[in-house]
Structure 1
Amino acid sequence: MTTGITAAAAWATHEVTNQPPPHVPYDAAADPALLEGLHREGAGWHEADLRRLGQLAGGAEAQRWAEEADTNPPVLRPVDRYGHRIDEVDFHPSWHELVRVAVAEGCAGAAWADDRPGAHVARFATFMVWGHTEAGHACPMSMTYAAVPALRHQPELAAVYEPLLASRVYDPGLRVPTTKRGILAGMGMTEKQGGSDVRTNSTTATPTGEPGVYALRGHKWFTSAPMCDVFLVLAQAPGGLSCFLVPRVLPDGSRNTFRITRLKDKLGNRSNASSEPEFDGTLAWLVGPEGRGVKTIIEMVSCTRLDCVGGSAALMRKALVEAGHHARHRSAFGSLLIDAPLMRNVLADLAVESEAATTLGMRLAGAADRANRGDADELAFRRIATAIGKYWVTKRAPAFAAEALECLGGNGYVEESGMPRLYREAPLNSVWEGAGNVNALDVLRALAREPESGQALMSELARAHGADRRLDAAVDRLAADLAGIAADPDRAQGQARRLVERMALTLQGSLLVRYAPAAVADAFCASRLAGDGGFAFGTLPANVDVGAILQRALPEGC
């Protein structure tokens, strides 16, 4: 029996309308706050390369790599076909493409080999723009970047490995590191029983008799990117907790013992393999003096925390441009979403948050660059401000991602939109390199042990004095809080988050008042400092110039 309806006609029930076009290609570097910060912090010479990378990051090919790397997670191969232990991890080809570009563009250790002022600012901006692809591959980039200052505590090791860590060539595969054109570094710090409390680590390091060489025995709980060439690892030596360099392949070409128990099944960051390795007679080279492991890695932590700020700021920017693209092309109740007053308020509020995060991140990158060149004032500022920024910007990212997702309605809840991937990724940077409590308490530690860092913060805030009465009032409140802490330090721990939040908002406000257009600075001060805003995004006060904010944040082409 036939109905007379063709197969094609059976599906022709409606015409698809009122759906936005695909958001590729777009310019991932078309962010005024980022570009202005690039020039302000001394790396304007990098703009042409950054704009070129922005076109690549927002292009169809790179966005396809990002999706494929996320949907095809790495696979652990503990043994080969014959049963020999190999402990290798296979990544999708798109992961390798993302890493290849990241290394070539200087996202790994290249800044350490660049003598130009602003080199670390340029690297940070590159890290943010390429962050519009897939965040998982950024982990080995960040660890490789951060490994260099730690290795410099052992000059003979740095002489061998730093040129390879600073290479712009991605050379994958497990081989003797010194035979490769470039290498990547990972880290193995935390263990099951301690997490961030690394002083409870139980992994032991026994001297072998060869100077500087030890045998490790124990485990690590989170070691990302296990196919890196070398790892910085904390272990208990006879003299106390110490830092060690562990190569996957030894100088004679044999495999070092690096048994991978399993890969973590994570909420997000799925393209990156996070592993649980075990050491048993694993050879390691001492980095820095015995018993000074935490001190050896402290600069490394500053670098990775800076990248946490950059990664979250990049995620915010990516989420904002996706929400803006949808709103420009989707109609509801008789008008485009971008013209609806309440949606405009939501997008403008998100834009203000994104600019505040980016501006703070660029200021921190500038401080890092100048501190690396011997500026003591910038070193003191970096010490406290990086912990403040890491705490606050990473805390804002999950709420930001959720609101941006909601701008797409039900479409945003569907994997094909890309928004769920951003939402799953958003909490990561708040957890990694010390969760919120760890960073808040680290700020207190800096105030107590390095009072020059608190003075540097207040000096930074003073540069905006008199420009906005709401900011001046916030600075006064913060000064009173700091005085209260000094008078009653035992009470401070329970209030640490409240204090650091106030520090972050006041610092962001001061930067926006000095550097952002009046509309952005006014909206921030009104809603974040004066309290004329609600808990959710989209609660900017009525007198804010929403149009000017949106025109700046969402230029055509992004």
Structure 2
Amino acid sequence: MTTLDLPSNRAMPSTRGMNFFTADPNLERALGAYAEPANVERALPLLEEVGRCAGDELDELAAVADAHPPVLRTHDRLGRRVDEIVYHPAFVEMQRLGFSRFGFAAMSHRAGVLGWPGRVPHVVKFALSYVFVQSEFGLFCPISMTDSAARVLRMFGSAELQERYVPRLTSTDFGELMQSAQLLTERTGGSDVGASECVARLVDGEWRIWGEKWFCSNAGADVHLALARPEGAPAGTKGLGMFLVPKVLEGGERNRYVIRRLKEKLGSRSMPTGEYEFEGAVGYVVGAIDRGFGQMAEMINVSRLSNGMRAAALMRRALLEAVVHARGRAAFGRALFELPLVREQLFEMVLDSEAALAIVLFAAQALDRADGGSEHDELVVRIVTPLIKYANCRRARWTTGMAMNIRGGNGYIEEWVNARLLRDAHLGSIWEGAENVVALDVARAAMRNGAHEALFGELEERLGAVTTEVGRGEGAATRDALGGVRRRFEALLGASEDEREAKMAAMCDRLAAAVCSVLLTVEGDREARMGQGYGKLLVAREYRRRYLERADPLDGDSSVLRWLGELVDGKPVPASALV
């Protein structure tokens, strides 16, 4: 039998052409729990526009760009060093979509992007980004670094640097746009940034930089925020300064560095990552020269939050792919979606996806408030950002893997999106600090700043606002579990350094589950009050049992699987489902 002769029930269902926003009823409801009502209404048509693009035009471009990664052109035909990155047209078009059409790197800095009055709130920006990233993960690294570079310059840069670079870093005119990269990692240190060997020297009144950087994502960028140690400065992170290193100097000549090669990567193939070698490159000091690492931490934290959002987006796309496939395929005389074990796997993917989005929007809301001057929310952001980076990125690996498994052999074939989702999910756990690094950063935020007290206080306050009868019952169970997590977290902070470090990853698993359990309960209570049913409270209960209380899976109640279709489609679930 040839391919053309295959019967219709052997078709291969695809998500291509779907609107990724309208296909996700959970997003609008979740956004309503964290954004002002007027902002939600203003965001809806924009979300629909991004969703339409992500499910069609962007999805097609992303597949092409992944198959045709950029290449490094080191010299021109006359033998002159140029270090030019040559992109496939599909990636260039994706850049136009991300930077210009939707203005993701500009919307936190400029008024009027996408017609928004004033600057777009972080919580709305992350919701829009969440939809976009479901089709293209790699491009959001350049977008995030350009966005955060403008933020760092506005916070710490001199008036001259701000005037020269911020307007172009935040431009939606693709011809005027400057993109940014970040240069931290060196072979000598890896995650130990304090071991960096790049040196900065004053030469004829300007700073020059020598040394190498082992990883530069968005290689070939117009500007780079780089750490280097001024000659004579002390060892460790305290001796590092931050420098803005432009690609082209004011006179039009190339700056003094080379891109040695581009990395062959498992994931994010559409976006170039390269090795840099500085040969006396001109750099402009950003902020206090002895505060470089602390200032770079602001850029890292925004990038980490973006990473957590991207992991949530990968989980959502994985769930969508699995649901569409399971509903469109049959085995043993039944649709895959009706098979009990498949339903159990999809149900767990729903829990992962909705929890991941909840904690991202919660952090984005806190970032909006912190930028507005709230010291309380600044502490919440400080601890929840590495926690999101740890937990969402870790869980995305399982979720994307399960979606591949549900699709079967086609899921392993590069013509389908699953392989790319899985590859990108593994990168998310490494970018901006591997799991061990960010888990220990959670502990540091608690020990240095008492940030955990702000976080637990915030969660308790939110649980106290739950009002529905079913919500109060779930809230009481969640409050008890939250109290247990707090006691164990604080006990671990007081343990020996070796014990604390050895157990901190497991503690972060439990802490993230506690945060998400609270958020899902509060979201569920809100939906119940609004007459939207009890589906989110059902999700909250099962998430608490499975992830926070670690109930034995063999003791679980499989009757909850009957509500899978309602949860996926956003249809009401009755209160009786929780009895």
Fold-level similarity (TM above 0.5): yes
Deviations 1:317-367 (A, max 9, x none): 111101111011100011111112221111111011100001111111111
Matches of 1:460 and 1:138 in 2, distance apart?
30
Match of 1:183 in 2: 178
- Decide whether aligned partners of structure 1 residues 533 and 95 sit closer, same or farther in structure 2, where only a CA change above 3 A counts: farther
Q: Would you say 1:18 and 2:18 are equivalent positions?
A: no
Matches of 2:124 and 2:181 in 1, distance apart?
22
Matches of 2:4 and 2:19 in 1, distance apart?
36
SS at structure 2 position matched to 1:103: helix
Match of 2:147 in 1: 145
Shift of 1:46: 1.5
Match of 2:568 in 1: 553
Shift of 1:461: 2.2
1:241–1:290 CA contact under 8 A, matched in 2:
yes
Shift of 1:487: 3.3
Match of 1:177 in 2: none
Q: Would you say 1:530 and 2:549 are equivalent positions?
A: yes
Which of residues 135, 138, 143 is equivalent to 1:136? 138
Match of 1:159 in 2: 163
Matches of 2:2 and 2:395 in 1, distance apart?
47
Match of 1:492 in 2: 500
> How much is the aligned-residue C-alpha RMSD, in angstroms?
2.0
Matches of 2:491 and 2:380 in 1, distance apart?
21
- Decide whether aligned partners of structure 1 residues 408 and 11 sit closer, same or farther in structure 2, where only a CA change above 3 A counts: closer
Shift of 1:21: 3.4
SS at structure 1 position matched to 2:109: helix
Matches of 2:407 and 2:302 in 1, distance apart?
35
Which of residues 195, 210, 222 is equivalent to 1:217? 210
Match of 2:70 in 1: 74
Correspondence 1:122-521 to 2 at 5 A: 122-151=124-153, 152-156=155-159, 157-171=161-175, 181-210=176-205, 213-238=206-231, 239=233, 240-451=239-450, 453-462=451-460, 463-464=462-463, 467-468=473-474, 469-490=476-497, 491-516=499-524, 517-521=536-540
- Which ranges of structure 2 fall in alignment gaps of 5 or more residues? 112-116, 234-238, 465-471, 525-535, 572-579
- Decide whether aligned partners of structure 1 residues 540 and 226 sit closer, same or farther in structure 2, where only a CA change above 3 A counts: farther
Matches of 2:436 and 2:367 in 1, distance apart?
23
Deviates more, 1:430-439 or 1:109-118: 109-118
Match of 1:5 in 2: none
- Decide whether aligned partners of structure 1 residues 375 and 14 sit closer, same or farther in structure 2, where only a CA change above 3 A counts: closer
SS at structure 1 position matched to 2:191: coil
Aligned residue identity for 1:461: L
Match of 1:542 in 2: 557
- Decide whether aligned partners of structure 1 residues 261 and 513 sit closer, same or farther in structure 2, where only a CA change above 3 A counts: same
Match of 1:89 in 2: 85
Match of 1:178 in 2: none
How many residues in Structure 1 have an aligned counterpart in Structure 2?
A: 531
Aligned residue identity for 1:475: L
Deviates more, 1:50-59 or 1:480-489: 480-489
TM-score of the aligned structures, taking structure 2 as reference length:
0.88
2:91–2:270 CA contact under 8 A, matched in 1:
yes
Matches of 2:564 and 2:335 in 1, distance apart?
18
Matches of 1:544 and 1:88 in 2, distance apart?
58
Deviates more, 1:95-104 or 1:473-482: 473-482
Matches of 1:10 and 1:372 in 2, distance apart?
61
The runs of at least 4 consecutive aligned structure 1 residues that moved more than 6 Å come to 9-13
Aligned residue identity for 2:419: P
Aligned residue identity for 2:293: V
Deviations 1:19-45 (A, max 9, x none): 233322111113233222333322412
Shift of 1:472: 2.4
Matches of 1:246 and 1:83 in 2, distance apart?
24
2:14–2:324 CA contact under 8 A, matched in 1:
no
SS at structure 2 position matched to 1:135: coil
2:26–2:570 CA contact under 8 A, matched in 1:
no
Shift of 1:502: 1.1
1:110–1:165 CA contact under 8 A, matched in 2:
no
1:187–1:232 CA contact under 8 A, matched in 2:
yes
SS at structure 2 position matched to 1:141: helix
- Decide whether aligned partners of structure 1 residues 334 and 198 sit closer, same or farther in structure 2, where only a CA change above 3 A counts: same
